[in-house]
Structure formats: C-alpha cells, structure tokens
Amino acid sequence: MSEDKQEKKGSSSAAAATQHAEETLIAVRKEKATKIRGRGENPFANDVTSGEPLVDLAAARARFDGAKNAAGRYDAEKVAPEPLRISGRVLFLRQMGGVSFVRLRDRTGELQLYCDEAVLGEAYARLHEEIDLGDIIEASGTAMATQKGELSVKATSFRLLTKAYRPLPTKTSFKDVEARYRMRYVDLVANREVATVFRARTFIISALRRFFDGKGFLEVETPTMHTIIGGAAARPFKTHHNTLDMELFMRIAPELYLKRLVVGGFERVYEIARCYRNEGLSTRHNPEFTMLEYYQAYATYETLMDQTEAMLRAVDEALAAAVPEEHASWAKARTWSFERFVRVPMAKAIENALARSGLPPEVATRVADDDAPIKAWAKAAKEKKREIDWANFRSGMKKCDSEGERVFCAYEYLAEPFLTADYRTDDGSKSLPVFIIDYPFEVSPLARKKDGNEALVDRFELFVDGRELCNAFSELNDPEDQDARFRAQVEKKAKGAEETMDYDADYVRALEYGMPPTAGFGMGVDRLTMLLTGAASIRDVILFPLLRPEASGS
C-alpha cells in the first residue's frame, strides 16, 4: 500500500473513532436527560422568570468592586453575603473533597459557583452525576470570596435549565478553520476571543451611528432588490419575482437610491446596507457584506476627507472605551497609525512610485508595447526591492480603451501595492493612511469632473495598511453628463465587460429635478472591523460567511 493510501486510511480511521466516541458521549448525556425527566423535571426548562430575578454575571461582579485589593483579588471580609440568583453555561467543573467549583459564563462574563456538599445535601451528588460541561444551569446562593480571593456564589440550590447533548470542544481541539466558520455557535464558546471580535463589530456599528446621528444625518433603508444594475461596477446576483414575473438583481450598492433621497430634500442621509456582489472569495471579499454609505448636500470630497479622519478616530476611541483591554492588545500589534493622514493625487502617486522603483516615466505609457524593455525595468525595480507584477500589468494595460483607464491601471500595479512602504510615520515604524485623490473620469462613472480639468474627477479612496477602506467623491449632478456616462457603460457592456452599470433612466430623471451639490461616501464595515481588531480575514468578522456545502457524513 502506498504512503498516500496509508495516510488516507489512517485519517479515515481516526475520524471514525472520533465520531464513535462522540456518539457514545451523546448517548450517555441523553440517558441523563431521561433520568431527569423520570424525576419529574424538564431538562429543557422554560420557567426562568419565576422567583428572584436573574442577575447578569458581570453585574454580580460589579456589586463587589469595592471589595478588591490592589492585586485585584476579593477580600472575604468585605464581600457581603448578598443573595444572588445566576445562570450560565458550565465551562469548568472540579471536585475537591466535599466541595466543587463550577465556572459559569453568560453573555456578560464569567463567575464561579461554590458548591458545598454540607449545604446542598442530596443535590450535591446530582451535580456530578447529571451536570456536564456545556450544560446551562441556574443557581441561587450568597456572595462570598474563596481563600484565594475569587469572587463566588455559594450555592444553596441549583438546577439544570438546558442539557447539552454534544460535548463542547476544548480550545486546543477546535482549531480547524472551516469547522469554526461552519459551526460559529461552537466557535463563539470555544474561542472566547472570537466572541470579543463580534462584540467589537457591534460597538463599531453603534459608534458609526452615533457619529452620523450627531451630525444631523438621517438613517434610511433602501431596496435590496433592483430592476437594473447600478451604484457600482460589479457582477450582481440574480433572483426572480414570481408574481410579477420579473428578473431582479440583489443590490451591489445603495448609492442611486440614497441620492434620489437627496433630490427629495433629505440632504444628509446614511444607510448601513447589506450588499451582494457575485465575485470571488478572498481574505477581503465575501459575496454578502455590509457597507456604510452616506450623502451630504452642500459638501465636497474634500469635506468628506476631513470628516473621514474624524469618523475613524471617533470610532476607534469608542471601541477603546467599550473593550479597553482587548483594544490595547489590538493597538499594540498595529503596523499602521491614525497619527496623520496623507493626501496624494493619483498622478503624483504614480510619479513617486516610479522614482522609488528606479523606473523612467515612460513605463506607464510603453508597458503594453511589444518592444517595451520590461526585463530591464524589472531588474531596475528589483534592485530597489520593488516586486512588480509585470505580466498582469502589461495584460491589463492592453485591455484599456482610454487614457484614464491606462492611468488607473498604472496606479494599480506601480503605486498601490507599495503604499504602506512609501508613506510612513516620521520615525518610519508604522504606515500612514493614504487618500488617493483625483481619479480619471473614465473609471468614475458617477463622480463629478474637476473644475479646470475635466480629465479628472473629485474622488478619493482611502487605503489603510495597504487595504482599500472607503471610496468617496463629489457627486455628478449634471443629468446630461450622467446620461452620457451611463451610455458609455452600456457600450462597454456590449463589448463584453461584465462589471458595468445599466442605463438608469429614472435616476437621470431624478437629476433633472435638481440635486444640490453633494458629496457621497462608501465604506466596508467588515473591512473597518478587520482593521480595528487586527483580523486577518473577512470571514473572521462575518458571523456566518458563505461556505461550500458541507460534505455528506460530516
């Protein structure tokens, strides 16, 4: 038998043994549930509202903050024996003679249950006979501190609320990434830091809402099913409405509907919008994701750059206040800083990148030519430690139909990959956020052309730690210009381009009623969460990311 076959056979045997062991444990736990039912009790109880109110574990701890010493331990003499009724999932259970220690966790934190056989009597035996790790129990008792200074509840009674048939994995055993994403409900229990990241996501969204609500913005909801493709350049998901017999597209962005509201007089609007793009999977892309988009009348893209800096700092400060210990850990590991932001026109970014790469200006215009000295350019760039993807750069440039598209292609390959290296703090220790501004109008079909230079638009994208975080621009409000841009998109689609917009006649009609000078902004909430918490993959900040169907027999 080959080594590969032996390895596969061994792996299959190990999996079968693991599954058998788990099935045995499940059977044992079900027998315990049957025993509890036989005693007239429900192992899946629902009468938790009767009796004294349940106290959150964090709230129980907070009552005795004054009883802590300098080392953070609790002084037994200062912990008053207040009555407490608590509940939570059993994470740890240890017996020491006639005393058992049970670690409980609820949504707010953890607390120890101190179980004394002399106090519980016959019920004490049931603690070890019927309660398993992962079970959810409630207990009544009084507050106390152990000899080691651990705040505890000395139980006078306890009961099972929910029997967990499946055993919880240990933190060390539950490391398979796909299994963690697929069974997030287990991941949140087994890997506590995962739950912290998702709480942080909630705090981030709350902070965004506070920021915009405080500036007079109105939060709105717009359609998630559209009759045409618009608001961004991306491939959509399709669906079908049976009654109307209509093909619909899941929205790729809420932009055009939000700007309709600006026309209607809602001059400051925002939406935290679920969006869908039929694209590949990567550490930065999930087909279903969350965007913040907002639109502000009587503002320009420069207004929004200032506001973006203030917003990001405010959200980060709110996160630090919400989870100070975790935030301190994330901040310490950051390779970037909000110390200051850099603003660089795209043409200047290309110019700077060419100079740092030891390359002549002609690279951006000649790379697609058959006689271009790419080998010599690659050698020169390599000497400057700049690894440029010359093959795709050349291929991409050949597909460009306009000067603006060629400028953007040059930026993508020559400048964008090196933003973290080129723009750094004064001491060079961390990268700085970079606003790339003034894009070619050909790659910005919804943005307003610059006064005095119609080859460019008033647009920026912000890159932090080398990742695009947000996109914004002064909005195009000239209906005739918008009509021409839509028609150009339709022509590109006719030539085979997939990521293009449709012609939106109703939106052009809305502009004909008059939209005031407006600036608009879009940002991925998932990417912001990744940035602030140090998550490596977008799947680490989406509770249930899209996965392939689970293999049969799993």
Q: What pLDDT does residue 513 have?
A: 98
Confidence of residue 12 (pLDDT cuts 50, 70, 90): low
Query: Which residues 6+ apart lie within 8 Å of 440 measured at CB?
Result: 346, 402, 403, 404, 405, 407, 408, 455, 456, 457
pLDDT the model gives residue 502:
86
**Residue bearing tokens 């999932």:** 89
In sequence order, which residues have a C-beta less than 8 Å from that of residue 111 and are 6 or more positions away? 57, 60, 61, 86, 88, 103, 104, 151, 152, 153
Which helix (H) or strand (E) segment holds residue 318: the answer is helix 301-322
The separation between CA 155 and the C-alpha centre of its own chain, rounded to angstroms, equals: 40
| Global pTM exceeds 0.85 | yes
Q: What is the pLDDT, as a whole number, of residue 169?
A: 85
Question: ∠ CA 280-283-284 to the nearest 5 degrees?
Answer: 75
Q: Residue 496 — very low, low, confident or very high, per pLDDT cuts 50/70/90?
A: confident
Least confident of 62-71, 382-391, 526-535: 62-71
- As a whole number of angstroms, the distance between CA 255 and CA 231 comes to 5
Q: Annotation-wise, does 461 bind a ligand?
A: yes
Question: Under a CB-based contact definition with an 8 Å cutoff, are residues 473 and 447 in contact?
Answer: yes
Instruction: Retrieve residue 196's tokens.
Output: 């912290």
Q: 24: number of CA atoms within 13 Å, CB side? A: 6
**Which pLDDT band, with edges at 50, 70 and 90, does 347 fall under?**
very high
For residue 144, give every residue at least 6 positions away whose Cβ sits within 8 Å of its Cβ, in sequence order, or none: 76, 79, 81, 114, 151, 152, 153, 154
**How many CA atoms does the CB half-sphere of 151 hold within 13 Å?**
27
Whether pLDDT at 202 is above 90 = yes
- Helices 346-356 and 403-410, interaxial angle, to 10°? 50
148 half-sphere exposure, CB direction, 13 A CA radius: 5
Q: Are 319 and 326 in contact (CB under 8 A)?
A: no
Which band of pLDDT confidence, cut at 50, 70 and 90, is reported for residue 50?
Answer: confident
Neighbours of 355 (CB within 10 A): 12
Q: If you ran DSSP here, which 8-state letter would residue 431 be given?
A: B
In this predicted model, what pLDDT tens digit does every residue of 503-518 receive, in sequence order?
Answer: 999 999 999 999 999 9
Average the pLDDT over 529-534 and give the result. 98
pLDDT digits (tens, 9 = 90+) for 443-472: 988 889 999 999 999 999 999 999 999 999
- Rounded CA-CA distance 140/146 in Å is 17
The pLDDT of 23-41, averaged and rounded, is 95
Contact between residue 99 and residue 119 where contact means Cβ atoms under 8 Å apart: no
Confidence category of residue 52, pLDDT binned at 50, 70, 90: confident
Asked which of 15-19, 317-321, 356-360 is least confident by mean pLDDT, the reply is: 15-19
Q: What percent of the chain lies above the pLDDT cut of 70?
A: 96
Task: Give the mean model confidence (pLDDT) for residues 395-403.
Answer: 94
